[in-house]
Copies of this chain bind each other. A is one copy, B any other.
Amino acid sequence: MPRADAVRNRELVLATAERLFAERGVAAVSMDDIAAAAGVGKGTVYRHFGDRAGLALALLDEDERILQEAVVRGPAPLGPGAPAAERLTAFLTALLDLHERHLDLVVASETAAAGARFRSGAYAAWRAHVAVLLREARPGADAETLADVILAPLAGDLQRHLRRDRKLDGARVRDAVVEIARSVMVDS
């Protein structure tokens, strides 16, 4: 059983980080800032979240759980019931939307030492979901690896570049990502 002060501090740090990120922007807030504003030591922040990417991941966790729930048990086409190609399109659209809403947080969560992102539970779940849909539409294909490739364009730094530097709107980015996925599903 976890100690009461530990869970209290974890929540406190999470809430403080969320507030500071909203107030000043993710890039302008240091780990020291968060610890100081929460009134705890730096060590406490790092014990709970490992590193900056881990903290960002924890902040994304709630929204990712909601999406995951919708994918597993929600209504079609996101949830079960629709054809695989439609489910994939719906899923990619939803995940792109999530990434757009929290773009800086996603970037922070991916700026890890050695691609910790790909070892996160969330990424594994997304990959597994895409792989299942691929296998359904194209048995025999290397679904796992294709899933990684299909998810690659959702990387935070690319999304940020397309949207902020190149000023593409969400629909255009979505169409490109979805079209690629659709092609793979359809083709022999």
Q: Which residues of A contact B (CB under 8 A)?
A: 110-111, 114-115, 117-119, 141-142, 145-146, 148-150, 152-153, 155, 157-158, 160-162, 165, 168, 172-173, 175-177, 179-180, 182-184, 186-187
Contacts and interface: CB of A to CB of B under 8 A. Distances in A.
A15 to B, nearest CB: 27
Given A165-B119, A183-B183, A149 B142 contact: no
Contacts of A118: 157-158, 161, 165
A175 B184 CA distance: 13
Contacts of A119: 161, 165
Given A142-B175, A172-B142, A153 B149 contact: yes
Contacts of A117: 157
B179 A146 contact: yes
Question: Which residue, of A117, A165, A176, has the highest number of chain B Cβ atoms within 10 A?
Answer: A176
Q: Is the interface of A mostly helix, strand, loop or mixed?
A: helix
B187 A157 contact: no
Contacts of A141: 179
A182 B188 CA distance: 11
Contacts of A182: 187
Contact of A149 (B115, B160, B176): B176
B149 A177 contact: yes
